[in-house]
Amino acid sequence: MKNNYVKNIVLATALLLAGSSYQNNFSKDHNPDKLLANRLERIIEKDKIFERKILEQSSDEISAPQYRTPPDYCSRYAKIAAENLFGKEYVREKAWNLRYKNKIASPFKEDQNLKELVTNNILRPGMLIGIYNPKSDYNNKIDLEGNKAKYTHIATFLGINDSGELEFAHQFGKKSDKITEQELRKKKLVPKEIITTKNDKNYLAFLEKIRESEFESKLLIPKEIIEVNL
């Protein structure tokens, strides 16, 4: 974590210094030094927020629950784990239909870092992650709205370990264990969507705060966030 923190500061500082050489190309109202200084402040502030999240959402002491769920029942496993570990009650459904019976907290781009969603208080422990597995035998399944399944795997977000890695609990085939975001991506498993419960009051309050904030367009929340009421 310290290495990443220092790296961000060095990068932002380099950008700040480089930007000064282009000052004559900007108007007085668009001072490049000021813009880059603001960017540096945002980078440092986000790192500080994430460091606090590591303390608040530590997952080092959480083990992956072991249940007698049949092989490939990842959705049922994730639902039970979220309820037992975090008290979140999801409506039971197949992995590709959970998005309709519960609430979509946030979809995200394929290359988006989940760390950003944690920093912005969008992804929190107990939420479920819809994951696309290119090797899944269920990729041709049709969901409740007649669409091809967007994803076929589900994992429960546990929190952040002391190394700053996001950790999840999931059942993959017959095996249930913890897995980090980096390990997910190494396995070519692609996070597609964050799912929460319909009555997630904390999340609803957060959405309301964002709507009322004059900073809605200033990187506090991704523009693709949607709310689904079914």
Q: What is the pLDDT of residues 99-115, one digit of tens each?
A: 999 999 888 776 677 88
Cα–Cα distances in Å, from 16 out to 29, 39, 205? Answer: 17, 9, 37
Residue pair 93/99 in contact (Cβ under 8 Å)? The answer is: no
> Quick one: 120 and 7 in the same domain?
no
Q: How confident is the model at residue 44 (pLDDT cuts 50, 70, 90)?
A: low
Give yes or no for residue 7 having a pLDDT over 80.
no
> Quick one: 98 and 149 in the same domain?
yes
Q: How confident is the model at residue 120 (pLDDT cuts 50, 70, 90)?
A: confident
How much of the chain, in percent, has pLDDT values that exceed 70? 61
> Quick one: 136 and 39 in the same domain?
no
Give yes or no for residue 139 having a pLDDT over 70.
yes
Query: Shortest CA distance to 105 belongs to which of 189, 24, 210?
Result: 210
Q: How far apart are CA 81 and CA 189, in angstroms?
A: 20
Angle at 203 between CA 197 and CA 207, to 5 degrees: 130
> Quick one: 49 and 111 in the same domain?
no
Average pLDDT score over residue span 33-42: 59
156 within some domain: yes
How many CA within 13 A on the CB side of residue 11? 10
219 within some domain: no
227 within some domain: no
Give yes or no for residue 55 having a pLDDT over 60.
no
Residue pair 199/91 in contact (Cβ under 8 Å)? The answer is: no
* Containing structural domain, residue 175: 74-212
229 within some domain: no
* Average pLDDT value over all residues in the chain: 77
Average pLDDT score over residue span 131-138: 95
Bridge-based pairing of strands 190-196 and 166-172 is unpaired
106 within some domain: yes
Angle between helices 2-19 and 32-56 (to 10 degrees): 170
Residue pair 98/154 in contact (Cβ under 8 Å)? The answer is: yes
The count of structural domains within the chain is 2
Q: How confident is the model at residue 209 (pLDDT cuts 50, 70, 90)?
A: low
> Quick one: 118 and 15 in the same domain?
no
Q: How confident is the model at residue 218 (pLDDT cuts 50, 70, 90)?
A: very low
Write the CATH number for 130: 2.30.260
Q: How confident is the model at residue 219 (pLDDT cuts 50, 70, 90)?
A: very low
Query: Shortest CA distance to 158 belongs to which of 93, 52, 63, 76?
Result: 63
112 within some domain: yes
> Quick one: 34 and 143 in the same domain?
no
What's residue 112's pLDDT? 72
223 within some domain: no
> Quick one: 87 and 190 in the same domain?
yes
> Quick one: 131 and 208 in the same domain?
yes
> Quick one: 49 and 82 in the same domain?
no
220 within some domain: no
Token representation of residue 205 = 């309050």
> Quick one: 49 and 79 in the same domain?
no
> Quick one: 33 and 117 in the same domain?
no
Q: How far apart are CA 99 and CA 150, in angstroms?
A: 10
> Quick one: 36 and 137 in the same domain?
no
